[in-house]
Amino acid sequence: MNKSLSSLTLHLSAIIFLCCLTVSAAAQITRYEVTHEGRKVNTPGSESGPIRIGDTLYYSSLQEVSESGGYIDFGITIMRVFKSHVSENGKLSNGEPETFGINHPSRHTGNVAFDLRNGIIYFTRCRMDNGDAYQNEIYYVKSKDGKWSKPQRMGGNVNMKGYNSTHPTVGYISDSVSILYFVSDRPGGLGGMDIWYVTIDKKGIGLPTNLGIPVNSQDDEITPFYDQSEGVMYFSSNRPGGSGKHDIYSSSGARNSWRKPSRLPEPINSVEDDLYFTLNCTSSEYDVQNTNHNSGYFTSNRSDSYFIHDTSCCHDIYRWDYVVIDTTPVSSKPAVAENKPAEDTCPCKQARRLLPIKLFFHNDEPNPRCQDTTTSLTYFQTYNSYMFMRKTYRERQNEIADSTERDMSLAMLESFFGEVQYNSEKFEHFIHLLAQDILNGRHVVLTVGGYASPLHNSAYNVNLSKRRIATIVNQLKEYNGGMIRRVMEQPGSGTLEIKRTPFGSSTAPKDVSSSAKDQLHSVYSVDAARERRIEILGYDYR
């Protein structure tokens, strides 16, 4: 099986991922097929934001406004939201303007996102100055008694004066709390356009939070789509390492806890812009089980799109399908099953080779200045916050007077944060191997040690070590939408036990500073930073 396709199967659907563990790779070929959706919905202008809900495809199209369309400003080009009926065989009808009442006669409207559970449609409205767009803001309409409300500008701090807020997509934390992901170039990000989120409940809208590393980068991350059923975010980015201008990526997680993004393979991605990747929702009622992980839509300005003046200016809608082709040869001899996995491919063998896995923390994290022995945070949440602090760590090295010593300290610091990132990536791979092993019926016992620098007293550091160990327990529960938890619910699956050993600061070398007055060495030095960690030390069976 093609390695890139096999890897993407892991990110695209946990269901496909688990099935692939029991199906012979030699017997099947999996691939993506991409279809240009033609002139029923595509025009020489740009189309964007396609999303299928039930038997209707909603999308945005940039077209000249006419009096026949009910608008008085004849001759200007406006983006509006359209809809197209999808037949049983997947054919689209001619697109026509939506009926929610969200289109505006003089402002661009697009990027619809559906909160089916709460009867809300989010969308972007773009204010213009002399025909030129200059600020995107997020609006919404709400259904009540079968009627849609008038469009309302989002409250809270979702929209920020002088900055763009756009590309909404919806997830859920619980029955009473939803989460709105969106894109913004506001201050506090990593650079360019970043993906942010707010929580929404009966009390109101929470403060915007940046998704952080590894989803966001110094480049642009745009057009997110969150798959609630599998806990996967799809988005586009022009970060280094892609083959085009904007490539489509996927990352498992939620809120500010994410795994390293994976780039989707060709033909989903091309050498041009590829944006707005979505999965089909086969029902107009909210149910995560109605998400179809084998088909959806995206937009691209690749060569077969319709262009104005034969340039790659404009994006069209494409449908993607994930197909499995059976290549099992016909044979007169019965196949002999091989029940024992090869030693080199056994999940336990691969997982043990990754040990020890060292996961690091900032000083007194998580939940500083408390005696608690547990926390609600996951490890990747603390990791993202920690990586945001790299600049602070670098700046503190300027307190070193000797230039040679300072340069050496900075070099060691860069190497250390590289180690932090490397171990987090090992941990991500480790989780998937662990899931495979449990699915195969193994009863796995992990041994995890917790450590602290000597800045606080011994009793406090033991409790701090316990909190740090709790982050890895939480991560295993929540990772990829609760993948391991779902695996253990499968008939015949195994179990997971975690042996916790909180060492506190008892193993820290005596030359590591414990002075609260000398934070350059007790907090911001590499020697102190190496002591603030948890380690996965053992992987055994019972």
pLDDT band at 439 (very low <50, low <70, confident <90, very high): confident
Give 270 or 130, the one with higher predicted confidence: 270
Q: Which of 28-32, 473-477, 489-493, 526-530 has the lowest mean pLDDT?
A: 28-32
Same domain assignment for residues 322 and 360: no
- Report how many domains make up the chain: 2
Structure tokens at 225: 């789509």
Residue 241, CA distances (Å) to 237, 245, 246, 249, 261 in order: 10, 10, 11, 11, 12
Q: Is 26 helix (H, G, I), strand (E, B) or coil?
A: helix
Question: Are both 289 and 367 inside the same structural domain?
Answer: no
Output helix, strand, coil percentages for the chain, rounded to the nearest 5: 25, 35, 40
Within a domain: 184: yes
Residue 436 pLDDT level (bands cut at 50, 70, 90):
confident
For residue 276, the SS3 value is strand
Q: Are residues 273 and 362 in the same domain?
A: no
% of the chain with per-residue pLDDT over 70? 84
**Residue 261 lies inside a defined structural domain of this protein:** yes
In single-letter form, the type of residue at position 497 comes to E
- 274-281 vs 495-504, strand pairing mode: unpaired
Residues 286 and 401 in one domain: no
Residues sharing a CB contact under 8 Å with residue 539, sequence separation 6 or more, in sequence order: 348, 351, 352, 355, 444, 445, 446, 447
Question: What are the residues whose beta carbons fall under 8 Å from the beta carbon of 463, sequence distance 6 or more?
Answer: 371, 372, 373, 502
User: Taking Cα atoms as reference points, which of 199, 194, 200, 243 lies closest to residue 215?
Assistant: 194
Q: Please give the residue range of the domain that contains residue 289.
A: 34-326
Q: Does residue 332 lie in a domain region?
A: no
Measure Cα distances from 434 to 25, 257, 349, 439, 446 in Å: 20, 19, 11, 9, 10
Going by C-alpha positions, the residue among 132, 111, 136, 130 that lies closest to residue 122 is 111
3-state secondary structure of 534: strand
Q: What is the pTM of this model?
A: 0.63
* One domain for residues 367 and 296: no
pLDDT tens digit string along 234-274? 999 999 988 768 999 999 887 777 888 989 989 999 999 99
The answer to whether residue 21 is domain-embedded is no
Q: Are 249 and 368 in the same domain? A: no
Category of 367 on φ-ψ map: left (φ > 0), alpha (ψ -120 to 50) or beta: left
Residues 140-183 pLDDT 10s: 999 998 899 999 999 989 999 999 999 999 999 888 899 999 99
Average pLDDT rounded to a whole number, residues 393-411: 93
